[in-house]
Structure 1
C-alpha cells in the first residue's frame, strides 16, 4: 500500500524534492551555504563570548545537517521512477488484498495473521496425514493377523465339525431318531468383514428320518427332536466342567422304552459337575434323576394353582409306579424300585 501511494504521487514527490534541493544547495543563495557563512562570521568572536561560541557551534552543526539533507534529497531524486505499469501492478495487488480480506472477513492489515493461521493448518494437515498413514499400517497389520487367525480357526472348525457331526449322529440313533443325520455346514468367507466369530458362517443341519435330506435345524426339527438333538450336541461336545445349569423340556416327546432310558442316561451324564433340569412324563427318564420334583396343577372356579414338592424315597417309588401305569400296586412299586436301582447302577 505504501509503494502504491508513492507511485501514485510520484510527480508531487519529484516537485517537492526539487524545491527542497534548490533551497538547501550549498552555493550562494542556498540554505546550507548561508548557514555555513553565518557560522564562519561568528567564529572569530567565540573566544570573547560563550554564547557566541555556542551559536557558532550550532550553526556549523546545522550547516552539516543541511548538507546531509541535500545529499539525501539528491539520492531520493535519483530513485524516483514514474512507471505507469508499476502503478497499475500495485493497484491490482491492492485490489487482490482487499478481495482476500473480504473473503476471510478481516481487515487488509490482518491478512498476515490469516496467512500464518493457514500455514499452521497446512502443517497440522501434514501431521494428520502422517498419523493416518501410521493408522493405516496398523490397520493392515491387524487385518493380516486377523486373517491368519481366522484361517487357523476355519481349519480347526472343519476338522472338529466332522468329528462332532459323526458323534451327534451316533447319539441320535440312541434317542429315537434311527437313520437321522446331523451336519455342521461351514461357509467360509475369507474376504468378508472381520468378525469376532471369524470368517465362517455356520449352519446346523439335520435329517430327522432315514432317507431325508438334511435341512436347517431351526426349520425341520420338531420341539421334541430339537430338545433331543440339543442333548446329543451337548453330550458330544462336552469338554471340561459342565455348565452350571442346563434345562430340557419335551426331550421325551414321542419316545419310550430303551430310547427313554438312553435319554435319561445322557441327562444324568450331563449333570456331572453341574445341574441338569428336565421336565418329563416318562418314568424311564425320571429314574435317572438325583432328585425328583412332583408338579401338581389344580384349579377351582376362581384360580388355577401349580404346586411342587420334592419327593422322598418312598414317595418317589410311588410316583414312578404311577408314571408307569397309573395305578399303584405291589407289582408296579416293585417295577419302579427295579428301574430306580438299574438307573443307579448305570450311573
Structure 2
C-alpha cells in the first residue's frame, strides 16, 4: 500500500509531501490544476521514462520518493528484490526514489540502494495499478488474463505443471538416449572390429611380462648352446675327462695295494669322478632349462609383438588390454540393446504426454466453467455503469502443441463488444477512454481480491457520466476499497463523496511563479469542495445541502 509520496521540483510542484491511508482516497480540483502532474510524478517511481521536461523550470533535478507499507508478507516481491541485491528487513517500509536530472539522465533507488528503472517497472506490477485511457498494464495486458482467471476460479494448476515437467523430462531423456545411440551407431563398425581383434588375441593381465621373460630366456639359451655342448663333450665324450678319470681309477685299483700313496691317489681320483659327475649333471640341467625350440621362440615373439602393437593402437598398457576388451564389448552390447532401451523411453514419453494432455484438458474445462461465471459477474456490473449495450467475454482458446507450457494449453483473453452486432476485440482496442475505465472497474469488482496490486489508481474514471452512473461508480470504488487501497482522480461529486480521504489539487500564483499544491481536506472543507463540484464557480446553499446529502449517503 502507498503510504507517502514526496515530490520535489516536478513541473509546477516545488515541494510536496503527502500521506495516504487505506480505503478510498479521492483527488479533486479544477481542470488544469495539476492532477496529471501528480500521477506523472508517481509514475517516475514506477519506472516511467525520466523525461527532463518534468524537471521544474530553474531547478537542477526532480526527485520523487514513494513509500509503501512493509512488503514482507509478499514473498514473491521480497524474493524479486533479493535477486536484485535489495534486502528488505521485517517491518521495514519500501522506499522507491527516482531522480531526474535537468541535463538528462536519471537514477533509481530502492531503500537507498541503486537499481535500474527496469526493476522499478517490474516492482510496479505488484505495487500499483494505474488505470486510465493510455495505460496498457494491469487488466489491459492480456498476458496476465490467464492467471487472473485461474485465481478467480480458484483453479489449482500444480498438477498440470508437474505433468508438464515430467513430460519434458521424459522427452529430454529420450532425446539424450537417441543422440547417444546415433553416436554409437556411427562407431559400430569400429567397435565390432576392435572387439573382434581383442577377442581373437584374448590378452591376459601379466601376460606381456611372462612372454618377455620366456623370450629372453630362450634367446640366452640360443647364444650358449654350442658352449654347453662343448662342455658336455669334454666331460662325457669317449675321450672326455670323466672317461679318462674312470680309466685311471681302474688301473690304480689294481696296483693301489703296492704302495700307500697309490691308495691315496685312487681315493682322490674317485672324488674327482664324483665332482665331475656333479658338474655334468648341472651342465645338463642348465642345458635342459635353456633348451629352446625355434618355433616356440618365434611364437612367443609374435604374440609379444601383437600384444604391444595392439596396446599402442589403443593407447593403453598391454596389461590393460583385457579391461579395454571388456569395456568395448559392453559398449557394443549397449548398441545391440539400444533399440529396446529407446523403445522403453518412447513408451515413457508417450505416457507422460498423455498424462499432461489429460491434466491440461481437465484444466481447460475448469477454465471454461470459470470463464462463464466471470462473464456473468462482469455482465451484472455493466448496466449500472451505463455499459448495458456492451458485452464482455473471456476467450479461452486452445494453443498449438508447440505453445503448450506448464500453465496448460490455453490462451486466455478478456474481450468486449461495445455495440450490438459489433465484433469482440481486446479491451484497449475497442473501448473509448471513459468506457475503458468503467470496464476496468467492472472487471475489478467482479474479480474482487483475485490478484493484482494492492494500490489501484483510477484516472478520471467518471469522465462523461453523471447522476446514477457516477453514483454506481462511486459505490463500486468504495466496494473495491474494502480490500485494497484505491485512489481516484475524479470530477464527479458522487464519487468524491464516497472517499474516506480527500485531497484537493489547486494552483496558486504569487505574481511571478505558478505552483501546484495538494491540501488534505477535513469534513467542512470536503463539503465545500463537493458543493463546488456540484454548482461550479459560485457555491450556493442548495449545492452545500446537496453535498451534505451525498456525504451522508
What TM-score comes out, normalization by structure 2 length? Answer: 0.47
Verify: 1:69 aligned to 2:279, yes or no. Answer: no
Unaligned 5+ segments in structure 1 are 343-347
Contact 1:241 1:274 survives alignment (8 Å): no
Map of 1:289 onto structure 2: 499
The structure showing larger relative contact order (alpha-carbon pairs under 8 Å, at least 6 residues apart) is: 2
Match among 244, 247, 264 for residue 454 of structure 2: 244
Which structure dedicates a bigger proportion of its chain to strand?
A: 2
Q: Deviations over 1:209-237 (max 9, x none)?
A: 23311111232223332221111111112
- Within 5 Å, which residues of 2 pair with 1:128-139? none
Give the C-alpha shift of residue 158 in structure 1.
Answer: 0.3
Distance 1:226 1:254 in 2: 12
Contact 1:46 1:56 survives alignment (8 Å): no
Match among 139, 148, 157 for residue 367 of structure 2: 157
Map of 2:229 onto structure 1: 22
Contact 2:308 2:318 survives alignment (8 Å): no
- Within 5 Å, which residues of 2 pair with 1:77-88? 77=293, 79-80=295-296
Q: Which has the larger radius of gyration?
A: 1
The 1:15–1:288 alpha-carbon spacing in structure 2 relative to 1, beyond 3 Å, is closer
The 1:37–1:289 alpha-carbon spacing in structure 2 relative to 1, beyond 3 Å, is farther
Map of 2:395 onto structure 1: 185
- Within 5 Å, which residues of 2 pair with 1:280-319? 280-298=490-508, 304-319=514-529
Distance 2:384 2:404 in 1: 40
Contact 1:40 1:56 survives alignment (8 Å): no
What TM-score comes out, normalization by structure 1 length? Answer: 0.70
Distance 1:303 1:60 in 2: 139
Give the C-alpha shift of residue 240 in structure 1.
Answer: 7.9
Unaligned 5+ segments in structure 2 are 1-207, 250-262
Which structure dedicates a bigger proportion of its chain to helix?
A: 1
Contact 2:232 2:280 survives alignment (8 Å): no
Verify: 1:330 aligned to 2:541, yes or no. Answer: yes
The 1:24–1:38 alpha-carbon spacing in structure 2 relative to 1, beyond 3 Å, is same
Verify: 1:279 aligned to 2:489, yes or no. Answer: yes
> How many pairs does the alignment contain?
320
Contact 1:21 1:73 survives alignment (8 Å): no
Give the C-alpha shift of residue 341 in structure 1.
Answer: 1.8
Q: Deviations over 1:226-274 (max 9, x none)?
A: 2211111111122589963222113112211111111111001111133
- Within 5 Å, which residues of 2 pair with 1:45-64? 59-64=276-281
The 1:241–1:65 alpha-carbon spacing in structure 2 relative to 1, beyond 3 Å, is closer
Contact 1:223 1:250 survives alignment (8 Å): no
Structure 1 segments, 4+ long, off by >6 Å, are 1-4, 12-15, 35-42, 44-49, 55-58, 86-96, 117-126, 131-142, 240-243
